[in-house]
Amino acid sequence: MLDLAPNGQPFCLSFLRNKAGMVVSVMDWGATLLSCQIPMGDGSLRETLLGCPSPTDYSQQNAYLGASVGRYANRIANGQLLHNGEIIRLEINSPPHQLHGGPEGFDKRRWRILSQDEQHVLYALDSPEGDQGFPGLLQVTAQYLLTEDNTLRIVYQATVDKPCPVNLTNHAYFNLDCEPGDIRDHYLQIDADSYLPVDSTGIPPAGLRSVEGTSFDFRTAKSIAQDFLSDTCQQAVKGYDHAFLLQAKGDLSHPAAKLWSSDGQLEMRVYTTAPALQFYSGNYLEGTSAREQGIYHDHHGLALESQFLPDSPNHPEWSQPDCWLKPGERYESVTEYQFIAS
**265 pLDDT higher than 70:** yes
Q: What is the pLDDT of residue 3?
A: 75
Residues in Cβ contact with 327 at an 8 Å cutoff, skipping those fewer than 6 apart: 136, 159, 160, 161, 162, 163
**223 pLDDT higher than 70:** yes
Q: Are 146 and 24 in contact (CB under 8 A)?
A: yes
What's 94's DSSP letter?
B
Residue ranges of alpha helices (H) inside 159-247 are 232-235
Give the Cα separation of 213 and 110 in Å (integer): 45
Closest CA to 308 of 71, 140, 63: 71
pLDDT tens digits, one per residue of 266-321: 999 999 999 999 999 999 999 999 998 799 999 999 999 999 999 999 999 998 99
Query: In sequence order, what are the beta bridge partners of 336?
Result: 153, 271
Q: Is 195 helix (H, G, I), strand (E, B) or coil?
A: strand
Do the strands 13-17 and 23-27 form a parallel or antiparallel pair, or are they unpaired?
A: antiparallel
Structural domains for the chain: 13-341 (2.70.98.10)
Give the Cα separation of 217 and 34 in Å (integer): 31
pLDDT bin (cut points 50, 70, 90) of residue 229 is: very high
Residue 112: CB atoms within 10 Å: 14
Q: What is the pLDDT of residue 142?
A: 98
pLDDT tens digits, one per residue of 82-141: 888 899 999 999 999 999 999 999 999 999 999 999 999 999 999 999 999 999 999 999
Give the Cα separation of 84 and 81 in Å (integer): 10
Q: Please list the active-site residues.
A: 171, 305
pLDDT bin (cut points 50, 70, 90) of residue 143 is: very high
Q: Across all residues in the chain, what is the average pLDDT?
A: 96
**The residue type at 157:** Q
Q: What is the pLDDT of residue 244?
A: 98
**191 pLDDT higher than 80:** yes
**203 pLDDT higher than 60:** yes
pTM exceeding the 0.85 threshold for the entire prediction: yes
Q: What is the pLDDT of residue 2?
A: 57
Q: CA-CA distances (angstroms) from residue 223 to 5, 75, 84, 178, 244?
A: 39, 27, 44, 17, 17
pLDDT bin (cut points 50, 70, 90) of residue 10 is: confident
Give the Cα separation of 274 and 266 in Å (integer): 24
Q: What average pLDDT score do residues 43-47 get?
A: 96
What's 109's DSSP letter?
S
Give the Cα separation of 297 and 281 in Å (integer): 11
- The H-or-E segment that residue 137 falls in is none
Q: Are 211 and 197 in contact (CB under 8 A)?
A: no
pLDDT tens digits, one per residue of 147-177: 999 999 999 999 999 999 999 999 999 999 9
The answer to whether the peptide bond before residue 96 is cis (omega within 30 degrees of 0) is yes
Q: What average pLDDT score do residues 7-26 get?
A: 94
Closest CA to 173 of 51, 59, 54: 51
Residue ranges of alpha helices (H) inside the chain are 55-58, 232-235
